[in-house]
Amino acid sequence: MACFSLYFLMKKIVISLGGSLICPKEIDVNFINNFKELLESYSKEKILFVVVCGGGYIARSYQESANIITKLDSENKDWLGIQATKINALLIKSVFKEELVHGEVIEDPTLKIETDKQIIICSGWKPGWSTDYVAVKMALNFKADKIINLSNIDYVYSADPKKNSKTIKYKKLNWKAYLSLIDNKWSPGMNSPFDPIASQLAEKEKLEVNIIGKDLENLKNLINGNNFEGTIIG
């Protein structure tokens, strides 16, 4: 294995990949294939991609089904969600070329990872937060250049645009302004652009997070440092 310190020579990008894109209700083979091809297209460049996979529909369906049968507490809901992130992460890891992807899915984002691979896949870790928090911890671990939240939410809005036609779309927000728009406590299955626990840590560590939708051409623009559609928080 190459020494961990080699990655200080590389551009490092953490992608929080929403489970809603991996499996909206069925596995989105086209999206996953296009995502794979995009990241593999950088194989000759000095970029390290850390991809943290969310649970999305699979997590919510398990949580809701179990809750019909018996009243689940938040911790048990979280554990179901974490297992969903693991199966999604295994799926994503399996599609990449073996010479590019690290050999195991990473659960603990505080580990010092020694690898000569260009792509590292991560899952959920512990109850109390979403995979957005894992993404922030991985960004701190690797001293990443960017955190990108890739999901079905293309911008941060002042209210749900599906319910309010007069909602405001934000292109840039500081953390204080963003946190005023969302609930300040984590609950399993909550739907916010970036979860509150992850956001509070990102604010403390002065990190920047880019909220973009699922358009992979837009993701390519962001990776390449070009103009992109989305919200910059930080």
For residue range 180-189, what is the model confidence (pLDDT) as tens digits?
998 888 777 6
What backbone phi and psi angles, to 5 degrees, belong to 110? -95, -5
Phi and psi of 231, rounded to 5°?
A: -115, 130
Confidence of residue 8 (pLDDT cuts 50, 70, 90): low
The C-alpha atoms of residue 135 and residue 122 are separated, in whole angstroms, by 9
Average pLDDT over residues 171-200: 88
What is the pLDDT, as a whole number, of residue 114?
Answer: 86
Return the SS3 of 218.
helix
Residue 164's pLDDT is what? 83
Q: Is the pLDDT of residue 2 over 70?
A: no
The 10s digit of each residue's pLDDT in 28-84 is 999 999 999 999 999 999 899 999 999 999 999 999 999 899 998 999 999 999 999
Q: Per the structure block, which two tokens stand in for 126?
A: 């512990």
What would the DSSP string read from start to end of 7-38? GGGSEEEEEEE-HHHH-SSS--HHHHHHHHHH
Whole-number Å distance between alpha carbons of 1 and 12: 18
- Amino acid, single-letter form, for residue 179: L
Quick check: 198 pLDDT over 50? Answer: yes
pLDDT of residue 4: 44
